[in-house]
Amino acid sequence: MKFQVLSKDGGGNARTGRIETARGTIDTPIFMPVGTAGSVKGISPDELEGLGAQIILGNTYHLCLRPGDERVARLGGLHKFMGWERPILTDSGGFQVFSLARINKIEEEGVRFQSHIDGSHRLLSPETAVGIQRNLGSDIMMSFDECTSYPVTYEYAAESVKRTIRWAKRSKEAAKGSDQALFGIVQGSVFPDLRQMCLEALVQIGFDGYAIGSLSVGESKEQMMEVMNRLAPLLPENAPRYVMGVGTPEDLVEGVRAGVDMFDCVMPTRNARNGSLFTWQGTLNIKNSAYAEDPSPIDPECGCYTCRRFSRAYLRHLYICRELLSYRLNTLHNLYFYLELMGRMREAIAAGNFELWREGFYKRMKSME
Is 91 noted as a catalytic residue in this protein? yes
Q: Which of 9, 69, 91, 208 is catalytic?
A: 91
Look at residue 142 and give its three-state secondary structure.
strand
Q: Is 27 a catalytic residue?
A: no
Catalytic residue among 69, 251, 261, 264: 264
Q: Which sequence positions are flagged as catalytic?
A: 91, 264
